[in-house]
Amino acid sequence: MLASACLLVSVAIFSSVYILHSSLTMSFKAVGSALTRTLWTRGQRTPPAARSPKVNRLSTTCRVSGKQQGCDKTKSCSSDSDKPSGEGPSPSSEPPHRCTTADKKRPKEPVGAPGVNGVRRRSYTSAAPVSQSTYLWARYNDTKRLVHDIIPPGACKLLNSSTIYANNEVDLAEVDIYGFDYDYTLAMYSNALEKMIYNTARNFLIKNFKYPEGIQIYDYIPNFAVRGLHYDIQKGLLMKIDAFHYIQAGTVYRGLSPVPDDEVRQLYGGTFHIPLQQDSGFYGKGPKIKQFMDIFSIPEMNLLAAANDFFISNDIDYDPVHLFKDVSEAVGMVHLQGYMYKWVMGDLDKYILRGEETDAVLHRLVNKGKKLFLVTNSPFSFVNKGMTHMVGKNWRDFFDVVIVQAEKPHFFTDCIKPFRRLDSNGDLQWEKIKSLDKGEIYKQGNLFDFLRLTGWTGSKVLYFGDHLYSDLADLMLRHGWRTAAIVPELERETKVVSTDRYAVSLTWLQALTGLMERLQTHRDSESQKIFEEWQQEREELRVMTKNLFNPQFGSIFRTCHNPTYFSRRLSRFSDIYMASLSCLLNYDESYTFYPRRTPLQHEAPLWMDQLCTGCMKTPFLEEMSHIR
C-alpha cells in the first residue's frame, strides 16, 4: 500500500496526465532504490533481493520447493498486509518466506480470524488475540499514516497547464495542414462576454417573451454551471452524467436548488440511469435531454436555472418545455441579431485574450512550411476585426483557405450547399467556385467540395476546435482527420489537481476504498459498524474533492470516480487536447504525442508512465495487489 498510494494521484485523477521527464532531478532507478530500502525498513521485511526469484508477489499465497544444505524444504509466503485479526507483524529476524521442514509433529495452524473462517494463520511470537475492532482500526490507522507519509509536500507541482494531452498517438511530422475554428480556438474570450450574453438574453425573456419582471433580480453566477452538463427538458433538471449514462449523486439541480438523491431516483423509475442514446441523440440534442457542450452554453444554463428558480420560488405554474424553448431562443437571439459581435468588436481589449499567443502560433507554423485554413461559423466582419487585432491587417496571408459562416456541423455532412465567394467588403459574389484560392474569403460550402478542391485528406490534416460535436466528431469518425480539442477548463483543473490538499485527499480516498474492499469479509456486527463509519468518511471525501472544482457539479472530467460523459466524448472525438492553442509553442513540429498506457482493471500498473512522476514512487507488485 505504501508505495502504490502515490500512483493514485496520477491514475485516479485522469488517465492521460503528461509530465515532461526532463523536469525530474532524480533518476527512477535511484529513487526506486531509496524508496525500496525505506519500505522494507518500515515494514521489517526482507528486501526483494533476498527472496526466492520464483515468488509471485501478486498472489497472497504461494509455495516454492527447493533443496538447501542437502535437505528438501518447502517455503510458503503470504501477504503481510492482509493478516486477519489476532496477528501481528512478522518478527524482524525472520523473513516472510519461512523454511519449514516436513515435521509431522508440528501442530497445524488455527484457521481464520475471530469471526472469519477460511483464512490462513501464521505462528507468531505472541499469540494473544485482539478484537475485530482493534484489528480493523489498526489497519485503518496504519494505512492512513502511510498515505500521508508517502506524499511529500508539493509532490505533483510538476503538472503543467500548458501541456498537450494525447488520447491517440499523433506524430506532428506527419501533419502538413493545420485547420482552425475561430471562437474559443484562435480567439479566446474573457468571462465578461458570458455575463453580457446572460444579461441580454434575460432582458429578451422579459421584453420579447413577456416573462415576469421579477426575473430581473437574478444576476449571472459565474461559477454555477460547468460545461458538459445535461438538461432534462421535460422535468426542468440540470445534471451531471458519467460515461456509463448514470447521474452523479448530488449533482441534480431544479432551478438553483439541489434535488435530493431519493427524489431523483424516484423521478427516473428507481434508477440513476439515463438512456441517452434514446433521449438525447448523437449530438446531444434529443427531444428529452440536451447536453451543453460549448462555452457559450454556460450563460444559457445559468438563465435556465434562474428562470426555473423564479417560477418555483413564487409558486407559479409553468411548463418546463416552454421555458426551455424560450430560453434557448432568447440566447440564440443574442448571436443571430449580432449583439455579441458588436460587443466584442466595440472593445477588443476587454473581450479577446491571448491574441499575441495566437499570432506566435500562426507565425511559427507558416515559417515551418505548414498550410493553414480556417473554418468558422462566425461572419467575416467579426472574424476580420478580431484577427486584425490579434495578428495584423495581413492576417489572411497566413491562411491558404478561409471559410466563414460554414454552418457546422452541417458543413461536415451536407454535400449539396455550394461555396460562395465574398469580395473585400464582405459582399457575396455569384460566380461558380472552381478552386479555393489563398487570400480569398468563402462562405458556407461543404466538406466534400473542400476535400475535392484542396486534396487535403486523412491524417496529414489536424483540425483544432472547442466544440466536440460541431467541430470534431464528424471529422474524426467520417473523414479520418486528426483532431485537437481546445479545453480552457484544463488550466484551472490542473491547478486544483496539483494542490497538496487534493493529492492527499484523493490518495486517502482511494486507499480507504481499497481497505474496505479487502476487509469486507468481516461480517460481524462490530465490523459492520466500523464499515459504516468508513463509508461515511468515504462519502465526505468524495464530496470534498468534488467541491474543490465546483461546489455544484465538480470537475468536467470526472464524477466521483468514473469519467464524465463529456470526458468520454473528449476521448472519442479528439486525438489530443489542450487548454489553449498556445500550448503548441511548447513542442517542435516533429514532436510525437504518445497516450499514457493506463492499466485495465485486470492489469497491474507495471510501466513507468503509470506513476506520479512528480514524486516518482515505485510500485511493487505485492503492493499493487491491494490497490484499487
pLDDT at 220 over 50: yes
C-alpha 502/C-alpha 492 separation (Å) is 13
C-alpha cell at 61: 499465497
Whether 125 and 150 map to the same domain: the answer is no
Residue 52 CB neighbours (<10 A): 12
Whether 471 and 511 map to the same domain: the answer is no
The parent domain of residue 279 ranges over: 191-345
Grid look-up 501533419 returns 175
Catalytic residue among 103, 176, 183, 427: 183
pLDDT at 40 over 60: no
Q: Which of 66-70, 225-229, 340-344, 433-437 has the lowest mean pLDDT?
A: 66-70
pLDDT at 380 over 80: yes
C-alpha 99/C-alpha 52 separation (Å) is 11
C-alpha 138/C-alpha 160 separation (Å) is 38
Whether 214 and 334 map to the same domain: the answer is yes
Higher pLDDT, 120 or 502: 502
pLDDT tens-digit readout, 421-473: 999 888 899 999 999 999 999 999 999 999 999 999 889 999 999 999 999 99
Contact assessment for residue 590 and residue 170, using Cβ atoms and an 8 Å cutoff: no
**Greatest pairwise CA separation for the chain in angstroms:** 103
Q: Which amino acid is at 518?
A: R
Among 444, 464, 487, residue at a domain's last position: 487
Q: Which helix (H) or strand (E) holds 528?
A: helix 525-547
Q: Is residue 360 in some structural domain?
A: no
Grid look-up 507554423 returns 365
Whether 146 and 231 map to the same domain: the answer is no
Q: Fill in the DSSP letter of residue 224.
A: S
Q: Is residue 325 in some structural domain?
A: yes
Q: Is residue 353 in some structural domain?
A: no
pLDDT tens-digit readout, 302-320: 999 999 999 999 999 999 9
Higher pLDDT, 451 or 24: 451
Contact assessment for residue 266 and residue 310, using Cβ atoms and an 8 Å cutoff: no
Q: How far is CA 256 from CA 22, 157, 236, 248, 307, in A?
A: 46, 35, 11, 17, 9
Give the residues across from 593 on adjacent strands. 170
219 is catalytic: no
- Exposure on the CB side of residue 92, measured as CA atoms within 13 A: 5
Whether 238 and 385 map to the same domain: the answer is no
Q: Is residue 359 in some structural domain?
A: no
Tell me the mean pLDDT in the region 401-427.
93
pLDDT at 147 over 70: yes
For the entire predicted model, the pTM comes to 0.77
**337-345 long-range CB contacts below 8 Å, 24 or more apart?**
339/196, 339/200, 340/193, 340/196, 340/197, 341/378, 341/379, 341/381, 341/382, 343/193, 343/196, 344/189, 344/193, 344/382, 344/385, 344/386, 345/381, 345/382, 345/385, 345/386
**275 prior amide bond cis, ω within 30:** no
pLDDT tens-digit readout, 562-600: 999 999 999 999 999 999 999 999 999 999 999 988 888
C-alpha 461/C-alpha 349 separation (Å) is 32
Among 487, 515, 550, residue at a domain's last position: 487
Q: Write the burial class of residue 328 (CB in 10 Å: 0-12 exposed, 13-18 middle, 19+ buried).
A: middle
pLDDT for res 127: 57
C-alpha 591/C-alpha 84 separation (Å) is 52
Whether 338 and 212 map to the same domain: the answer is yes
Q: Is residue 533 in some structural domain?
A: yes
Whether 293 and 320 map to the same domain: the answer is yes
pLDDT at 508 over 80: yes
Q: Is residue 401 in some structural domain?
A: yes
pLDDT for res 154: 67
Catalytic residue among 103, 149, 171, 181: 181
Tell me the mean pLDDT in the region 286-303.
93
Tell me the mean pLDDT in the region 598-613.
65
pLDDT for res 39: 36
Whether 285 and 335 map to the same domain: the answer is yes
Q: Is residue 352 in some structural domain?
A: no
Our count of domains for the chain comes to 4
183 is catalytic: yes
